[in-house]
Structures are given as C-alpha cells and as structure tokens.
Structure 1
Amino acid sequence: MQNRKLKIGIVVGEVSGDTLGAKLIRRFREQGIDAEFEGIGGPQMIAEGFKSYYPMDILSVMGIVEVLKDIKKLFAVRDGLVATWTEHPVDVFIGIDAPDFNLRLSKSLKQKNLPIKTVQYVSPSVWAWRQGRVHGIKASIDLVLCLFPFEKVFFKKWDVPAAFVGHPLASQLPLKNPIVEAKQELGLVTDQKHIALLPGSRRGEIERLGPLVLDAAQIISQQHPEYTFLIPAINDARKQQIESLLAQYPESLKSKVKLMENTDTESKIGRQVMNASDIVALASGTATLEAMLLHRPMVTFYKLNWLTYHVVKFLIKIQYYSLPNIIAGKKVIEELIQRDATPERLATEICKLIDIEAAKIQSMQHLTMHKQLLSSNSEDPVEAILNILQ
C-alpha cells in the first residue's frame, strides 16, 4: 500500500476538527508516507496542502431544529462527495468529529460497495446518549480512533474495531503553564485580572449565548470592577457579530470588554485567551477540555433550541455534560444547562472562583486529570489507519 501515493479523504466541520486534521496530515508526512488529501477542511488543513471541495463552515450546524433548516444543503454536500469518490475513489475516508454528517457519509460510501476503508476520528458520544447508534457505526465504520481510554473500552463491548490514540492536546499542552507568560503573549497587563468569556465559535451559538455572557459580565463588573473581560473571535464575521451585540450595552461595560481577534491560520485565539485568563466561562464543548488542560478554573454553560433540548434530555445516558466532569466521573466544574444558564447564575458561579482557594482546588484537579491522560498507553493514529488498509 505504501509503494504508491495514498489518496485520503477527510471531512471536518469545525475548528477543533481542522486542528486534528492538520496534525494528522503532518503525521503522515513525518513518517514518510506519500499521500494526498482531499474533502472538506479548514484553513489549517488547507495550509498543509489539503484540497477542500466545500467550505468547512457548511457543516457547522448544531441541534435538531437547526439541522432541519439546512438539511437539503447538507444532503447535497454528502451526495457531491459520494459522487466525487465514486468516480475517483480515495483509499480511506476519515471523518473527523461531525458524526451526524460523517457517519451518514461513511454509510453512503459502504452502500456503493466502493473499495474505501472508513475511519471515524473522535468517537461519537454513543457512550453518553443514543447508544443504539453503535450498531450503525459497526456496520459502516472500519475503525474508530478514540481520544479517551474509556471510549475504547465501550467499543470493545460492542465488538467495534477501535484504537485509543490519545488526545493530542494532552501531550501538546505543558504541565507547567504560567499565566504571566500567557498574558504577555497577548500583550495584556500582567497584573490585571481577566475573565475569559467564550460563547462558542459558531454564529448560532453566539446568537444564543452572547447575550448570556455579556449580561453576566455586566453583573460581575458592578461587584468586581477590577476585572476585565476577554472574548475571542475566530474570524472577522464572528468579531462583527460580537461587536454588534456589545453595541447594545452601556459604555461602562464596553470599556471593560476586550475583543481578541484571531491572527493566524491555527485559529488558536480561544486557547490563548483562556490561557491568559484567571477564570474561564465557556460554552460546553471541546473547549472545556482545553481549559482543563490549561489548568484554568472554569464554569461551563449551554442552551439549545427548546425543542432540541427536550428531545435530547430523554436520550442522555450520563450524569454530566462537560468533558472534565465525564473524565473525572464526578462534578469538578459547574455546569449551567438550559434553564440554569441565566446571567445571574453564571455571574454567581464565576464570582465563586474569584475566591483564590476555590480556584486553586479546581486547578489542581485539572492537573491531576491531565497527568492521567498522559499516563495511559496510546496508539499511533497513522499506524492504526495503515493497518486497516493492509
């Protein structure tokens, strides 16, 4: 298989997937494997020579109601990729995260009886909810690449081929992480206290959660005027959207809020802002893992469309929503979901972490989990992918 150039299809739907995809492409090249990559990718993957047929943002849709609005467009993208790879097959298709789209794409490729191996990189949360999906995964996926060891254990019970490849951030982010240096990197005053506000990176998330974090910031600013708020914007569109929201608030708050715009292809401004902040308040998602691995005290929150939420809550099989709590198997950070996600509750929970002792305890718990993720035995994702090709 390695005597000719491999053709690898990859599809990602958001920034975190773009980061994983770019690292995977580099890993193939570092091992001297001649390969070309195509599908749907973001700026980091494109910078590595990836050929993207559609913009990554086309898949950045969350929630049942929200997906229904764009269902025709999503089907057209899926059918377009199937048509391309039917005429010019790739050796392996790797869906990175975006499971609702990528698992359906893998199923479509299998139904065509194409000579294409299928990989899902980042396990869908079948261990958390909608466990019946594992049967579909078993039928359409040749290999699941898992970021956490408990995921491989779950798939083993269902006889689904899986490899624990570790979370790249666990080894990438250092165990010692001075906040002063992080503030200096962003040109911030080092003795100024900062609270990071991350309402999400998608347009819909900022629509739903932007007012929540700004209302909470207004409450905190009145109680603790010594704090400044940092909000990252991954691109100019998101920056303009946040600025438009912020324009509705009084000057007393606007003067305390600093928008931090992304300036490089790695889209790492969110991580930089969290790293430079004394406290982090963020939308529940993969960013909670980043905040944990940065050892920053945090509060997480989320709100879905009311119909989406009422459907989802009956399907959830786990006690917690955020990765730090799931990994720990107990409540390490506060989760404010749906009705609990009010400006008053968010402000209260953030203010609790202004207590240095409470913040220190949480940070130490994050460090312990970081060490646990590093100590587990992981496999090389490239080697695992090559094994199914051979």
Structure 2
Amino acid sequence: MIAGEPSGDNLGGALMAGLKELAAPGVEFMGVGGPAMAAQGLESRFPMEELSLMGLWEVLPKYRALKERIAQTARAVAEAQPDALITIDSPDFCLRVARQARALNPSLRTIHYVAPSVWAWRSGRARKMAQVIDHVLAILPFEPPLMQAAGMSCDFVGHPIVADPVAGKAEAAAFRAANGIAPDAPLVLCLPGSRQTEVSRLGPRFDEALMRLRDRVPEIRVVIPTVRGVSALVHDMARRWPTAPVVVEGAGEKRAAFAAADLALAASGTVSLDLAANNVPMVIGYDVAPLSRFIIGLMLRTDTVTLVNLVSETRAVPEYLGRNCQPGPMSRALYRLIEDPEARAEQFAAMGKTMERLGRGGEAPGLRAARSVLAAISSGPRPR
C-alpha cells in the first residue's frame, strides 16, 4: 500500500482497518504511509512526507531523489510478490511505481484508490492509468462508468466525508457563546483555500464581498477556518475588519464553527462537501493565474466544478469562477441566501441528496473499500 499525502493516509488507514476486519488474522501490509496507516500496523519504508510535494519548483530540486524512491519502491513491491499493490491518490508517484513494479512482475494485481477527475478535465488520464491499473476504488458515484470505459474495473466505495465526525447543536451553541456571537446573528464562514496562492488571490475578493454583505446586514459575524501554512495570511486579512472575524485552526473548533454557521463563501474544492455534511448553504468562488485560467478553460468538460452540484445533479450552489470571481456578484449571492428561503431550501435539498449518494447512512467507506479489494483479488488479474 502506498499513500503520499495526509488525505491518502487517512483513506489507507480506514481501508486497512476494513481489511483486518474482513480478512484477519491473515492479512499483512507493507508499503509507504503516514500516522493513520501506522496505527493499523504499517511500517513505512520511508517517511511519507518525502512525497508531499506540489508544484514544479518544489519537485525539481528533489527530482533525482524521488526518481530513486520510485525505483526502490517498485523493486520492493516486485520482490514481495503481494496479492495486490494498492496505490492511494498521489498519481505522479504512485502510478510510476505501479508501472515499474508491473514491468518487474507482470502478474501483479494493481488497485488504485481515488479515480482521477476525468469528468472535469484531461479525460486521457484514465486511459493512461488503465495501462498499469486493474481496478479502481471510486469515491464519487458517477465515476465507475468512466473508469470502466477506459478499461478498468471500478467500484464506488463511498466518500470519506460520510465517516467524518460532525459537531452537534450543543457544540455549535458553545462555539457561539465562547466567541461572543449572538445565537441569532447570521454567521458566515469564509474559506479562501488552504494554499498560499489561493489565499493571496481569493482572500482580498472574499474579504471585499463580505464587507459589502456587512454593509447590508450589519449584524453578520464572520469565522475563518484555516490551516497552519496560511494562518499568517489569514490573520492579515482579518485585521482589516472593523469587527474582527474569528480565526480558528484546531480540528475541534473547525467542526464547531461549521455546525454553528448559517452560510459560507468558499473556494472551490472538497470543502463544499464539508459544508454539505453540516447543511451550510454556500457560494463558491475560485480563480487561478491568467495563463492557467486559459488552459483550464480549453480543457474543462463540465459546466460546474462544485461537487455538490455534480453529485446531486443540480445547479443549486452558485459559483463564480475565473473572471466572474468578483466581490459584487458573490456578495449579492450571499445576501440572497440570507433573504430568500427558496434559495436556501434548494441548497438543503441538494446537500441532502449529495450526502445520501456519497454513502451517508450506509456501510463505512473503509469497509466497502476492503470488500472491493478482496473481490478484486479473488477474481484474479484482468485479461490483457
């Protein structure tokens, strides 16, 4: 099993727990992972953090070392002759390992956890992946036909969001009280992203949109959940406010803030599912550098990138992307969510449908993934 970043490590840990439940005591693991996989008994061959790199300028200085890690890991997989190699997200590293390991051991069964987002752009990635991957564990319900069309078997195993803890009403009320937020004050989450480039680009626009909303609804309060890597930027943004927003960083505080919120202005990404899990109506905004915007515009294959819209097959969540990511339209969309019960009701219905389709109320995703893995192993390698 190979995971290259924290989200993959969490998926791997849950999958390992499921495999131990279904296949214990005979199951054994080897590979690369983080603390969640270590808690299930994996001794990582090297620190997973070596693989947590993003961007050309981060990768280039370590390219030679990463290339050697790929070769070392592929040799270890081939020598171990496992029942399956399970790669988890991080395709730049994982699929290169799978390719080299398959070259050394052509009968190796290969399984990849998290399908590439070919529904959005770069559809050729699935066909390329099918050259080295037999079976895919998908976390979005509309992905299996896309993977099967590319030549791989695929099961939808549920999205990890359905297993994440959600704060209750008591925690939400305690959060408001602890931060001096009146029980009836509209509470808006501001979520400008988790990377410095995102916060630098989106932060000022989100800031201005919320300032305009405050002019129309003076009693609103703003909470900005953030992460350590962008905390300084977020605090700088918060200092502009006459009534300082509450900035929260800890996991418990974030859960309570989501439970206490009435609406949100958020960057595009999986955070829309966190908001859906907490039944928080949202407005989505996102932009990238002009050249990236142009390239993505040429390749984009869908009229929405918001997962709540895609999974629910609605367009209930308003999104403002690229040149449309401007304070005025986003502020007006937020105001509509405050003033228009029908707009809120439409989102509540879409969010409920989304969580149902992602697996809420069913078997835990880790256990579903484990069943899929065991079925794939028992069926043998696919014909080539």
Task: Report the TM-score when normalising by structure 2.
Answer: 0.82
1:184 maps onto 2:184 in alignment: no
1:79 maps onto 2:61 in alignment: no
Residue range with higher mean Cα deviation, 212-221 or 102-111: 102-111
- 1:134-283 aligned within 5 A: 134-170=126-162, 181-184=171-174, 187-188=178-179, 189=181, 190-235=183-228, 237-247=229-239, 249-250=240-241, 252=242, 255-262=243-250, 267=251, 270-283=254-267
Measure the CA separation in 2 of the matches of 1:161 and 1:77. Answer: 29
**DSSP-derived class of the 1:336 partner:** strand
Which position in structure 2 is the counterpart of 1:4? none
Amino acid at match of 1:318: T
> 1:296-341 CA distances to partner (integer Å, 9 max, x unpaired)?
1011121122222211221122221111111123311011111111
1:120 maps onto 2:109 in alignment: no
Q: Using the TM superposition, give the Cα deviation of residue 49 of structure 1 relative to its aligned residue in structure 2, in angstroms.
A: 5.2
**DSSP-derived class of the 1:215 partner:** helix
Measure the CA separation in 2 of the matches of 1:318 and 1:116. Answer: 35
From 13, 17, 37, give the equivalent of 1:26. 17
Which position in structure 2 is the counterpart of 1:289? 273
Which position in structure 2 is the counterpart of 1:59? 52
Mind listing any 5+ residue stretches in structure 1 that lack a counterpart?
Answer: 1-8
Q: Using the TM superposition, give the Cα deviation of residue 359 of structure 1 relative to its aligned residue in structure 2, in angstroms.
A: 1.9
- Contact 1:179–1:277 (Cα < 8 Å) also in 2: no
Could you say if the C-alpha distance between residues 94 and 299 of structure 1 is closer, same or farther in structure 2, counting changes exceeding 3 Å?
farther
> 1:27-55 CA distances to partner (integer Å, 9 max, x unpaired)?
233343543454243x5445555555345
From 305, 325, 329, give the equivalent of 1:321. 305
Could you say if the C-alpha distance between residues 346 and 181 of structure 1 is closer, same or farther in structure 2, counting changes exceeding 3 Å?
same
Residue range with higher mean Cα deviation, 183-192 or 193-202: 183-192
Measure the CA separation in 2 of the matches of 1:114 and 1:246. Answer: 56
> 1:358-386 CA distances to partner (integer Å, 9 max, x unpaired)?
22331132113323444899882112223
Which position in structure 1 is the counterpart of 2:347? 362
Measure the CA separation in 2 of the matches of 1:146 and 1:71. Answer: 30
Measure the CA separation in 1 of the matches of 2:275 and 2:121. Answer: 24
Amino acid at match of 1:296: V
Which position in structure 1 is the counterpart of 2:371? 383
- Contact 1:271–1:290 (Cα < 8 Å) also in 2: no
Measure the CA separation in 1 of the matches of 2:194 and 2:38. Answer: 19
Measure the CA separation in 2 of the matches of 1:151 and 1:27. Answer: 22
Q: Using the TM superposition, give the Cα deviation of residue 199 of structure 1 relative to its aligned residue in structure 2, in angstroms.
A: 1.5
Q: Using the TM superposition, give the Cα deviation of residue 71 of structure 1 relative to its aligned residue in structure 2, in angstroms.
A: 4.0
Q: Using the TM superposition, give the Cα deviation of residue 121 of structure 1 relative to its aligned residue in structure 2, in angstroms.
A: 1.0
Measure the CA separation in 2 of the matches of 1:286 and 1:147. Answer: 12
Aligned length: 365
Q: Using the TM superposition, give the Cα deviation of residue 181 of structure 1 relative to its aligned residue in structure 2, in angstroms.
A: 4.2
**DSSP-derived class of the 1:149 partner:** coil
Could you say if the C-alpha distance between residues 201 and 153 of structure 1 is closer, same or farther in structure 2, counting changes exceeding 3 Å?
same
Could you say if the C-alpha distance between residues 101 and 197 of structure 1 is closer, same or farther in structure 2, counting changes exceeding 3 Å?
farther
Measure the CA separation in 2 of the matches of 1:200 and 1:191. Answer: 27
Task: Report the TM-score when normalising by structure 1.
Answer: 0.81
Amino acid at match of 2:353: T
From 321, 333, 348, give the equivalent of 1:349. 333
From 309, 312, 336, give the equivalent of 2:296. 312
Task: Considering Cα pairs closer than 8 Å and 6+ residues apart, tell me whether 1 or 2 has the greater RCO.
Answer: 2
- RMSD of the TM alignment (CA)? 3.1
- Contact 2:134–2:153 (Cα < 8 Å) also in 1: yes
Could you say if the C-alpha distance between residues 78 and 309 of structure 1 is closer, same or farther in structure 2, counting changes exceeding 3 Å?
farther
- Contact 1:78–1:105 (Cα < 8 Å) also in 2: no
Q: Using the TM superposition, give the Cα deviation of residue 356 of structure 1 relative to its aligned residue in structure 2, in angstroms.
A: 5.0
Which position in structure 1 is the counterpart of 2:94? 102
> 1:146-176 CA distances to partner (integer Å, 9 max, x unpaired)?
11232112222333111111123336568xx
Could you say if the C-alpha distance between residues 209 and 118 of structure 1 is closer, same or farther in structure 2, counting changes exceeding 3 Å?
farther
Measure the CA separation in 2 of the matches of 1:296 and 1:48. Answer: 34
Measure the CA separation in 2 of the matches of 1:239 and 1:332. Answer: 31
Q: Using the TM superposition, give the Cα deviation of residue 124 of structure 1 relative to its aligned residue in structure 2, in angstroms.
A: 0.5
Measure the CA separation in 2 of the matches of 1:238 and 1:301. Answer: 18
